[in-house]
């Protein structure tokens, strides 16, 4: 049996929540390895909708261990709020079912405030963040001034650590003309929440090593998408962490050999939230129709998603940079009823044809998509659970996508419901 890492193959919002939940039936441990509560996963199980941000999607399944790895930045207040929200839906999260890496950095109120100041500043370019403090928290992590989960175990030691942190943040705030952080108040807030968080804290790397030695199957769950990776995405309109599969090891405390199959999630079309380049974006009625049919609004922010045709150039690129072994194709049913559907197969830049997305932002803004057009399908694909249920033209569309991206479609999702899934190849079997 192979462990499986699940990552987004586009700009996020690809439907990872349902796929991870579906796969978690075959796993023993589910691990979040990067990002924060800027990510949003929607699960629909037996008519109940769960909207998760920090909690791994496997937490809704009884008998599974959910882990938040060291690569995640953890807002302790948001985590407790989310635990209470799923409890109201019948899911009881306890230290027996959830472990948080003790070396994970914390998101503090000052991080959220700094994110807000930057995004609303008249002198800076907005990046379209969720304003939840994710980026500033990662900055403090690499700046070696972060407050981490382990620091909550003994709040008496927090004073010097908070002082060191505020030397940096108060200088920034003075430059922005906003009030400095009250260190004593921050200390009181952390002291109050510490007893509620500490019971979940532990050495995640040891727990995963134990799981490996016992032959347990581990599912590594990413957030956002490979095109938002801090190194390989459409910089600077990216998230603040690595979102590719290589981060699954570093963000959870295991070795790369512990990750077997990498499943990339991609919609049958393309969406993006926030700012940044989007070669196949449809600023017309077709884009609006895709958005309406696909209910394309952000789980976390409620922001309307930009919509466009499937971009095989970008997904082929993320298959390489993300280390993707196979693709789970989602929301095929959203394209039901179109007379024609297009797929981007290349780019044109200043009269030259490209088969990849250039890294330069100015060039990204100038590229034009080259499309291949396919006959649509009139019959519905919604709820299909076998290839025999799919129209021939839909199957032709899928097969052509496989050729263009250089990866097999190993799972096909045809509705938000867990069981409306066609399994081509079980990722846990490698």
Positions annotated as catalytic residues are: 13, 41
Q: CA nearest 36: which of 93, 97, 91, 108?
A: 108
Would you say 2 and 429 are in contact if contact means Cβ atoms under 8 Å apart? yes
Check if the beta carbon of residue 43 is closer than 8 Å to that of residue 49: yes
Q: How far apart are CA 123 and CA 41, in angstroms?
A: 33
| Residue 255 burial (CB count, 10 A) | 11
Q: How far is CA 164 from CA 145, 147, 169, 183, 406, in A?
A: 7, 10, 9, 10, 49
Which residues have C-beta within 8 Å of that of residue 184, sequence separation ≥ 6?
A: none
Q: How far is CA 294 from CA 15, 83, 291, 333, 342, in A?
A: 11, 28, 5, 9, 17
CA–CA separation, 285 and 291 (whole Å): 10
What letter does residue 281 receive in the DSSP assignment?
A: B
Closest CA to 260 of 38, 91, 430, 27: 430
Distance of CA 287 to the CA centre of its chain: 23
Yes or no: say if 264 and 411 are a contact pair by the CB < 8 Å rule. Answer: no
Residue 97: both structure tokens together: 């079912």
- The first and second tokens of residue 78, run together, are 């948001």
Beta-bridge partners for 352: 349
Q: Which helix (H) or strand (E) holds 396?
A: helix 392-405
């Amino acid at each position: 049996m192979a462990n499986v890492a699940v990552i987004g193959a586009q700009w996020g919002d690809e439907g990872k929540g349902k796929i991870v939940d579906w796969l978690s039936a075959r796993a023993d441990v589910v691990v979040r390895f990067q990002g924060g509560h800027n990510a949003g996963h929607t699960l629909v199980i037996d008519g109940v909708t769960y909207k998760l941000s920090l909690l791994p999607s496997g937490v809704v399944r009884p008998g599974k261990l959910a882990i938040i790895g060291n690569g995640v930045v953890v807002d302790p207040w948001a985590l407790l709020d989310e635990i209470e929200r799923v409890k109201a839906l019948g899911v009881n999260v306890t230290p027996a079912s959830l472990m948080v890496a003790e070396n994970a950095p914390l998101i503090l109120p000052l991080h959220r405030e700094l994110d807000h100041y930057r995004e609303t500043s008249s002198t800076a370019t907005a990046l379209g963040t969720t304003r939840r403090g994710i980026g500033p928290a990662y900055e403090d992590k690499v700046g070696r001034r972060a407050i981490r989960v382990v620091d909550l175990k003994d709040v008496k030691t927090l004073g010097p650590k908070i002082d060191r942190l505020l030397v940096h943040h108060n200088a920034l705030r003075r430059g922005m003309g906003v009030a400095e952080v009250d260190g004593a108040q921050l200390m009181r807030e952390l002291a109050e929440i510490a007893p509620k968080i500490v019971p979940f804290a532990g050495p995640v790397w040891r727990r995963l090593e134990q799981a490996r030695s016992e032959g347990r199957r581990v599912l590594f769950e990413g957030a956002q998408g490979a095109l938002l990776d801090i190194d390989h995405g459409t910089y600077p309109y990216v998230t603040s962490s690595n979102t590719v599969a290589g981060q699954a090891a570093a963000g959870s405390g295991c070795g790369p050999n512990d990750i077997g199959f990498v499943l990339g999630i991609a919609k049958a079309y393309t969406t993006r939230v926030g700012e940044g380049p989007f070669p196949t974006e449809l600023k017309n009625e077709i884009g609006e129709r895709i958005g309406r049919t696909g209910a394309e609004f952000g789980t976390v922010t409620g922001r309307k998603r930009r919509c466009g045709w499937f971009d095989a150039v970008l997904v082929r690129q993320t298959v390489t940079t993300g280390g993707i072994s196979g693709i789970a194709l989602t929301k095929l049913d959203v394209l039901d009823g179109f007379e024609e559907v297009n797929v981007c197969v290349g780019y044109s830049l200043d009269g030259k044809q490209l088969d990849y997305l250039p890294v330069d932002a100015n060039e990204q803004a100038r590229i034009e998509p080259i499309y291949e057009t396919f006959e649509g399908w009139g019959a519905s694909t919604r709820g299909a659970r076998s290839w025999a249920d799919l129209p021939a033209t839909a199957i032709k569309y899928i097969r052509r996508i496989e050729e263009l991206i250089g990866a097999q479609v190993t799972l096909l999702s045809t509705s938000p419901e867990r069981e409306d899934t066609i399994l081509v190849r079980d990722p846990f079997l490698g």
